Structure 1
């Protein structure tokens, strides 16, 4: 999912708040709203700092003085079931962290400067994603970071009651929470406390760290907030913020907190408020009646046009709905001239994906011809309705067979055939057509099964084309959680190797019969690829087999699929094979290296020499 990068500063009083240089304090009420996958610069990175530097050190002894800050924040997600970009309170030498990556590490650093002493960055992260590379404990935690996104100490989000009972909280709940960050310059200790605004400040901090910050902070530093981009839409709000050197920040006036906009158009909230004020003003004049009449006429006209559209397309029956996705509804139909069954994808009026994806489908799948690709028969646009017509796949999506049918619905032979079919389709897209096509959303839900149980790859709404010989990359991040290659988070660029990563997880998923990430599984089985790798390390890769197959499989074929799936989903992009190699392995034209296990391990870290 992509979002227009917007930064909305509403009632942002930092620029009018008083600053006492001697006391080093400021505060504001109002809210700072970072809309969607947020950012304020060309890299898509959201960083807001107070305009003036704060004097953290006493020039006589060069030690960091005591300081205290408190703020109330809220994170409002569009999809509560997924994690996303959190935010961080930051102390930085500059009012911009220029080397930070926009899509990860909370906008605090990049791959090249993690842990370097020259960073001089101290942060309190409120993180809603679990990044294994930096040792995150979970996808809902607070951490104290020094020069690195790898937290020195961290804890799951929550607070301690006066009876020492721990209460869990969720960052993505949308509820406002208050945070205290307090540093004792004498004891050299930093405490972090987080709690709901409807309870008193807990006596016991959530996190405490004995650490002298003097080596890490300059005499003058900037303070503010940072957050990265993400694949999902989240709105971040700082409702009130107070900072003070050499003392405790003032208590917050909770009665003055602004309300959080909860509708889907948060960025239009300020406009709506102005519209209400304007309407109130006009009500005092004779123009009100005129505006009401005009507005009513417009509504009637629009309603009439919409009714006409529904009448024109009244052939779309509710009983023929096959499913509903990001575009709109999908219907089963029949071509009157030939009685051939078809599928019609009807782009809804309020589609969030819209014309860009519509044109992507036409530009790609409309010209492709391959037995393992869903064929686009035609398209039309009439009265704002966008319609795509496809071959009808009577057996529906592979997702249904893997997860919603009896365990015996797919035999091992069928599973292997499906994997080979999708591999053949990807080989065609990557290396055999006149242009390189990056599908970018390979998963069982986008694989359809025809009447002969052949698999066909479909849903090209996210696909991108590139001329052969050119660098097949796109900076538009689009994928499905669980299938996204690690480099997408850092570079935002999709290519054929990111497709291969998703295909590797697809192979494991189809062969084993469970999703790449299973949050309800035991901790050591949460990530399917990691679990299979662990079984391989223990000398029993077949231990990962599920009761769905009930031992009715060919051992050599199963081992090939799992090993190849692990190789394709390797965390290092250059270690992944091409699709031509994948097809050769699956067709037994070529063999995997005998020392594949050690080769994979040797390539876990960039720069390690090997012959794989």
Structure 2
């Protein structure tokens, strides 16, 4: 719990932190669970049946940045989608629904249960704390001017909605279709908050219906700015009084940098009302049931052999789900879904292959494009590394990491499902004679992206994650050509302060830190070394180990020699000469050399590397840091350079 709190304190004070997350299911550490909220079967349950007056709130632990200062007139934008279910035990009892909320506090002042959603008070003057909510109300309260008992409204610091509409959606022909939000069915909601236009759009539809093109509710008013503070908690709130009503959130996606990622709704649980039965049965009914039971038994006996044969075939083709498989997040995909998505794992959908097996492009039933990695049957890494990747990758969420969506196991065949990266791997844009060579600004931006992703692995979670195989082919590019670090098949988790436990050296030749030849336990410093090698190859346009001739030195040695001779500018990739300032290119090479220092203790941390790549202010990164870190690289790391290291160039401007 202490690590959990430290992690979120770190995020709260981190500058330029963007929120982009996707939960297809939940565990107890994903959200701040307040009051009666709890996790039941990977679903957020907001209220408690056993409490007469029950209030539940669930917030994302990191505040959502909404404006530069409380007095700024510029408001940020965000996009979110979620799936919720509202199920009463007694259909005739009053309903209250739930609310999506932006709040300056996780415990709104004087908030009441029942029809107040656990957010508002009954005071004549509303609370002055910034509070904005989208209510999905399943009860009609005339005192609040509710138009009916099944509506959606936008609340600005007041239980009485500024705008409201009966729940439903517009179909493809423009016709309005009513949607009952209080029968337990899963409802998909989309909210687009446009801070530049002071506009909120709300759309809902039942699961299985594509997102309607026309929003259900639109509210545009500059007054929205009065209900937004510099940063706010974002989440859900619900309450009840006496009557049993289950308000659940099954999945949630949010982004303040673009459109929220699609939620996979195919395997979400469905909650249905409990069927009532008669307290007494007539003799005729009992006789009918008895006869039907006899017939059923006869049918079962006659088909027993067929079922036994079918079960035998299934067991030969696919192992039963074992207990440990149910403990891992995210969810397990049905094999047939992945088979259909990849067109039967067709060679036409093959993206590439490596030590772990083949990777296919797939398109899920909802249109989402994914990458499916199939582990070889004879893979030496096997199930242990496969589950290590699941347990680590599934819980890591950062804009510069390739996000894992789910997994599947069919017999000895193991599969991982990731977000699809349409622009492939970084090495294909630099080596292998690409049609278009990546330019200087693109290379700088991708290196900064990878450094931020690696910084999250080392410092941004409650456990240290060592990647252990950082190289350009493991950096993938999304649709905007931003870098995402992928392939955590070799990643190992261990608690902060503990030594990594391993008995073998893994990684790729040319990227391995020299100390791993004698000490097999990897460290964060060995990851930094591999990153430094990647910096050199990206800036120089030359692979770590070339096969031109026996006389060609390794990339690191070649750059070191040029640095010692004062000819570092000659190392830059000649194909993009003229696109960069020489001092900027040399600065990047010095950062790479600093990361590749022969002595691990003299290498910078990845946090320091991020600061240098992004050109932080001198107060955060002392001007002497770069020269100190590169001292001694020209003499092989003795620490006594033959000539003083040249002063570092001025920090470059942050990458676009």
Instruction: Name the TM-score class by shorter chain.
Output: 0.3 to 0.5
TM-score, normalised to structure 1, is: 0.47
TM-score, normalised to structure 2, is: 0.44
